[in-house]
């Protein structure tokens, strides 16, 4: 099969496009994304597969978006001996046209044209190979499946050395065997069709026989059960008669016992009434006696209460006198306590005034000391204010004096020394100072500055020291000036005076600190002003008379202690008297309460006695005491008589053994009831069985059993016939399958060899692959390292997929070849392998037709003699 020309009109977004393909070699169709490259393959499939009026989703999706017209697809194809031009219009004004150009010209339209194209393709094209020879964008890395390609199988048979005559009918026998097998089995080996129908018929016939046999068995069982129930019913009738006789005997005995029990019950009722009457009469007599006794006891109790009331009244009078006396004594004690409290308060006030007087004296003395300290502190402070020298100033003076001493030593060390020795009395002027020397006298001086030495009227000498001596003299002068400035600042003449003044300053500071500490100690937490305020307050509270202070503090304190002791004793006496008065009051209250209670009891007892006498009088008016006693005795005798009758009847009832009679009657009644229920149950069951037998007689169950057994024999014969045919078809298919698998195993090697030949162009000489019997690549080996196909990279999978398809294209016979379509592949391939893949295309592209669709034509630049077609938008 070869594609020569293809025209798309109003297809999706394509208005019109026509492409002519070379008969052989590689053709690269390139264009931008979404320009419609993949749509060409889609359009070719719709042209060959779908009818123009198809409502499939795939057909609806290609309707043009730019106009309300139908999509048109035209293709010129050659396959086998045929070459034809085929056109279809979808969606609007649907139309199909076919023009057969060879081997003889034909023109067909509509479904006839469609069926004619399908027939030509079925006759000449291996559709499985046509689908397998595509590398699409959506599945570029999927493993290629060539197991169903008959054209490739024939080519591999030839390559494997099999003598095969290519008649074109090789798959027909296999298909017929497969069709025969599928009449009896599913593809998974489960029964279906005639084999399943025969199995189902036999199973249904056997189930019908079993069902009919079970129905006949039910009839036999019903006959047997009818006879058994008839026999049991006769036996139950005899047992019921015996049970009825026993029940009558037990009922008569129970009735006799019931009669005695009724007499006993009536006697017990009479005895109960007699006992009630006797009890009521006895209670009335007892109540009469109790009432008389109660009246006598209440009369005696009233006498006792009257005596108790008199005694309680006397006790109450005595308690009142005692309480009055105790209250008077307590009042007297309270007055004594008040007098002692007044004396204690007076003594305490006297002591307080004396204490405050002593506090006045202490504060006055303390303030005198504070004032003296303040005066001394003021004098010291004033004297310190006259001294301007500070400790810092003294340190500066000491430092300046030390600097003068150091400079003086340096001057003496560096200066020139002048020594004079007088041979006779002479007068010399040195630096303006006149110096008189006697004969033999010597004089010397260190000179650090220019000095004039003169002998009046004789000689004038100028002594000039060197530069170091001058510098030392300048330092000495500066040090002396600094010392003089520090002394002037402090107002002293020399260092000795400064030291004396500093010593005086330190003494004054120490004394000032001592005076301040003494002042703080004297004041304490209180200031002098607060002390003066306290003194003024205390002085204001002192009495104006002076006779208070004639008594000393010790005498006043002794008087306070004596008054406090007397007051304490008065408190104790007052408390004692109070407690005695309270006890007397409580006793008086108790006597009063006791007297009141006794009087209330006496009143209540009088009322109760009167009520009791009234009740006795009322009862005597109804019945007298003697008559009441006689009636009670008569009722007691009647109760005794009736009790004797009850005893006699109880003994008679005991002799009849009522419990045993009742048990016997209950058991007889229960047995008769059970036998009656069983008899009714058996009768119902017998009627049901009889009814079933009548129904069974109208159903013809034996006839149905015979029919079911006949059907089973026919089904079994049919099952055996179909079984033999199914087993033969299964055996034939298994033989063909084994033969085909063996053949596939033989032609795996030629296919594997072709894949390795082409693959080594890309992957190198160490490239090997493993291929299964379905011609699928399982793994790849490079440099001795094997990797499963699924674990390879996307680029390697894509390259192996193209190599496998080109290998199959190279193997198939020329008349069986189909175009290899590669849609935008090799996107995962690096530049080096793109060049090697170009060599693969060169190796096989000249023998068949390879159509490459891509948006990157540079990927296929290494393909020699490739025909390029660029699509424009």
Instruction: Quickly state the pLDDT bin for 211 (edges 50, 70, 90).
Output: confident
pLDDT tens per residue across span 400-423:
889 888 888 787 776 667 778 888
Among positive and negative, which fits the CA dihedral 761, 764, 770, 776? negative
- Find the helix packing angle between 658-699 and 193-386, rounded to 10°: 120
pLDDT tens per residue across span 422-450:
888 888 888 778 888 888 888 877 776 67
The partner residues of 446 in beta bridges, in order of sequence, read 417
Query: Stretch 846-869: mean pLDDT, rounded?
Result: 86
Cα 144–chain centre separation? 52
pLDDT tens per residue across span 828-855:
788 888 888 888 888 876 668 899 998 8
Q: How far is CA 328 from CA 333, 566, 581, 588, 764, in A?
A: 9, 21, 9, 15, 146
Looking at residue 288, what is its pLDDT? 78
Question: Are the CB atoms for 838 and 820 separated by under 8 Å?
Answer: no
Instruction: Quickly state the pLDDT bin for 741 (edges 50, 70, 90).
Output: low
Query: Stretch 337-366: mean pLDDT, rounded?
Result: 81
Looking at residue 843, what is its pLDDT? 82
Looking at residue 153, what is its pLDDT? 65
- Measured CA to CA, the distance from residue 563 to residue 581 in angstroms comes to 26
Looking at residue 643, what is its pLDDT? 85
Looking at residue 142, what is its pLDDT? 66
**Smallest Cα–Cα separation from 152: which of 757, 841, 806?**
806
3-state DSSP assignment of residue 543: coil
Round the average pLDDT of the chain to a whole number and report it: 83
- Find the helix packing angle between 193-386 and 625-655, rounded to 10°: 140
Question: Are the CB atoms for 792 and 805 separated by under 8 Å?
Answer: no
Looking at residue 97, what is its pLDDT? 96
- Measured CA to CA, the distance from residue 136 to residue 69 in angstroms comes to 29
> Above 60 in pLDDT, residue 315?
yes
Question: Are the CB atoms for 772 and 144 separated by under 8 Å?
Answer: no
Instruction: Quickly state the pLDDT bin for 759 (edges 50, 70, 90).
Output: very high
pLDDT tens per residue across span 138-166:
565 666 666 666 666 666 666 655 444 44
Which of 74-78, 586-590, 596-600 is predicted most confidently?
A: 74-78
- For 732, phi and psi rounded to 5 degrees? -60, -45
Our separate counts of H helices and E strands in the chain read 17, 20
Q: How far is CA 102 from CA 167, 357, 818, 819, in A?
A: 21, 161, 19, 20
Query: Stretch 697-709: mean pLDDT, rounded?
Result: 79
> What percent of the chain stands above pLDDT 70?
92
Looking at residue 96, what is its pLDDT? 95
Instruction: Quickly state the pLDDT bin for 168 (edges 50, 70, 90).
Output: very low
The token duo for 352 is: 């307080």
**Smallest Cα–Cα separation from 163: which of 654, 680, 746, 672?**
746
Looking at residue 658, what is its pLDDT? 83
Size of the chain in residues: 873
740 vs 858 pLDDT, higher one: 858
Q: What is the SS3 string spanning 117-143? A: HHHHHHHHCCHHHHHHCEECHHHCCCC
The partner residues of 89 in beta bridges, in order of sequence, read 72, 95
Among positive and negative, which fits the CA dihedral 648, 649, 651, 656? positive
Query: Stretch 814-825: mean pLDDT, rounded?
Result: 83
Looking at residue 146, what is its pLDDT? 63
Mean pLDDT check: name the lowest of 22-36, 532-546, 811-825, 857-871.
532-546
Question: Are the CB atoms for 814 and 806 separated by under 8 Å?
Answer: no
Q: Which residue has the tokens 């004004």?
A: 93
Looking at residue 846, what is its pLDDT? 65
Q: How far is CA 193 from CA 174, 180, 417, 664, 737, in A?
A: 20, 11, 158, 78, 21
pLDDT tens per residue across span 176-194:
877 888 888 887 888 888 8
- Measured CA to CA, the distance from residue 26 to residue 726 in angstroms comes to 51
> Above 80 in pLDDT, residue 99?
yes
pLDDT tens per residue across span 51-76:
999 999 999 999 987 788 999 999 99
3-state DSSP assignment of residue 100: strand
> Above 60 in pLDDT, residue 555?
yes
> Above 90 in pLDDT, residue 610?
no
């Amino acid at each position: 099969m070869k594609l020569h020309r293809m025209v798309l009109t109003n297809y999706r977004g394509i208005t019109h496009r026509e492409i002519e393909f070379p008969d052989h070699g590689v053709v690269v169709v390139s264009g931008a994304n979404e320009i419609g490259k993949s749509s060409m393959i889609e359009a070719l499939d719709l042209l060959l597969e779908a009818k123009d009026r198809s409502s499939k989703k795939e057909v609806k999706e290609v309707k043009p978006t730019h106009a309300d017209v139908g999509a048109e697809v035209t293709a010129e194809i050659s396959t086998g001996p045929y070459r034809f031009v085929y056109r279809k219009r979808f969606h609007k004004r649907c139309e199909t046209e076919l023009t057969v150009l060879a081997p003889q010209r034909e023109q067909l339209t509509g479904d006839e044209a469609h069926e004619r194209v399908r027939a030509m393709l079925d006759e000449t094209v291996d559709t499985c190979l046509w689908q397998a020879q595509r590398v699409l964008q959506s599945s570029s890395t999927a493993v290629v499946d060539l197991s169903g390609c008959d054209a490739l199988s024939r080519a591999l048979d030839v390559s494997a050395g099999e003598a095969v005559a290519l008649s074109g009918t090789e798959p027909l026998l296999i298909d017929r065997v497969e069709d025969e097998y599928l009449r009896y089995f599913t593809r998974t080996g489960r029964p279906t069709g005639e084999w399943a129908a025969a199995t189902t018929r036999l199973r249904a016939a056997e189930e019908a026989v079993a069902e009919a046999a079970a129905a006949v068995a039910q009839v036999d069982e019903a006959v047997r059960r009818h006879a058994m129930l008839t026999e049991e019913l006769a036996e139950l009738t005899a047992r019921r008669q015996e049970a009825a006789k026993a029940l009558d005997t037990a009922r008569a005995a129970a009735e006799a016992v019931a009669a005695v029990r009724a007499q006993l019950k009536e006697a017990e009722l009479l005895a109960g009434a007699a006992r009630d009457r006797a009890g009521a009469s006895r209670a009335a007599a007892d109540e009469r006696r109790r009432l008389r006794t109660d009246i006598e006891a209440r009369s005696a109790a009233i006498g006792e209460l009257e005596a108790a009331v008199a005694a309680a009244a006397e006790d109450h009078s005595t308690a009142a006198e005692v309480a009055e006396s105790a209250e008077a004594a307590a009042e007297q004690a309270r007055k004594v306590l008040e007098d002692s409290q007044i004396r204690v308060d007076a003594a305490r006030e006297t002591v307080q005034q004396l204490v405050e007087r002593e506090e006045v004296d202490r504060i006055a003395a303390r303030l005198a000391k504070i004032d003296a300290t303040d005066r001394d502190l003021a004098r010291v402070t004033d004297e310190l204010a006259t001294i301007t020298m500070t400790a810092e100033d003294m340190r500066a003076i000491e430092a300046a004096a030390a600097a003068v001493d150091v400079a003086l030593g340096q001057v003496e060390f560096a200066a020139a020394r002048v020594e004079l020795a007088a041979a006779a009395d002479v007068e010399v002027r040195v630096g303006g100072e006149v110096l008189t020397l006697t004969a033999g006298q010597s004089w010397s001086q260190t000179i650090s500055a220019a000095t004039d030495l003169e002998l009046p009227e004789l000689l004038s000498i100028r002594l000039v020291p060197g530069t170091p001596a001058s510098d030392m003299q300048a330092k000495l002068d500066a040090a002396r000036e600094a010392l003089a400035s520090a002394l002037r600042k402090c107002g002293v003449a020399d260092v000795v005076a400064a030291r004396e003044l500093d010593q005086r300053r330190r003494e004054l500071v120490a004394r000032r600190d001592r005076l301040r500490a003494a002042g703080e100690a004297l004041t304490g937490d209180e200031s002098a002003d607060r002390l003066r305020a306290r003194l003024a307050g205390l002085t204001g509270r002192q009495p104006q008379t002076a006779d208070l202070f004639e008594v000393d503090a010790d005498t006043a304190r002794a008087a306070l202690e004596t008054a406090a002791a007397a007051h304490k004793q008065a408190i104790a006496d007052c408390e004692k008297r109070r407690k005695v008065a309270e006890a007397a009051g409580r006793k008086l209250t108790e006597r009063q309460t006791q007297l009141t209670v006794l009087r209330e009891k006496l009143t209540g007892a009088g009322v109760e006695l009167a009520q009791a006498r009234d009740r006795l009088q009322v009862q005597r008016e109804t019945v007298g005491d003697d008559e009441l006693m006689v009636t009670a005795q008569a009722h007691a005798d009647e109760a005794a008589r009736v009790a004797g009758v009850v005893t006699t009847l109880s003994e008679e009832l005991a002799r009849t053994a009522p419990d045993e009679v009742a048990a016997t009657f209950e058991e007889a009644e229960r047995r008769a009831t059970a036998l009656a229920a069983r008899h009714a149950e058996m009768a119902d069951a017998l009627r049901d069985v009889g009814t079933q037998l009548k129904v069974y007689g109208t159903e013809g169950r034996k006839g149905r059993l015979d029919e079911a057994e006949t059907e089973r024999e026919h089904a079994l014969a049919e099952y055996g016939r179909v079984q033999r045919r199914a087993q033969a078809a299964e055996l034939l298919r298994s033989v063909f399958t084994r033969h085909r698998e063996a053949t596939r195993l033989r032609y795996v090697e030629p296919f594997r060899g072709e894949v390795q030949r082409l693959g080594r162009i890309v992957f190198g000489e160490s490239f090997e692959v493993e291929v299964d019997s379905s011609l699928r690549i399982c793994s790849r080996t490079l440099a001795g390292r094997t990797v499963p196909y699924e674990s390879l990279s996307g680029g390697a999978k894509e390259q192996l997929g193209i190599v496998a398809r080109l290998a199959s294209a190279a193997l198939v016979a020329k008349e069986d070849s189909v175009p290899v379509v590669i849609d935008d592949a090799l996107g995962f391939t690096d530049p080096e392998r793109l060049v090697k893949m170009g060599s693969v295309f060169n190796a096989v592209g000249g023998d068949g037709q390879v159509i490459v669709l891509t948006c990157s034509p540079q990927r296929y630049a290494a393909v020699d003699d490739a025909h390029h077609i660029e699509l424009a938008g």
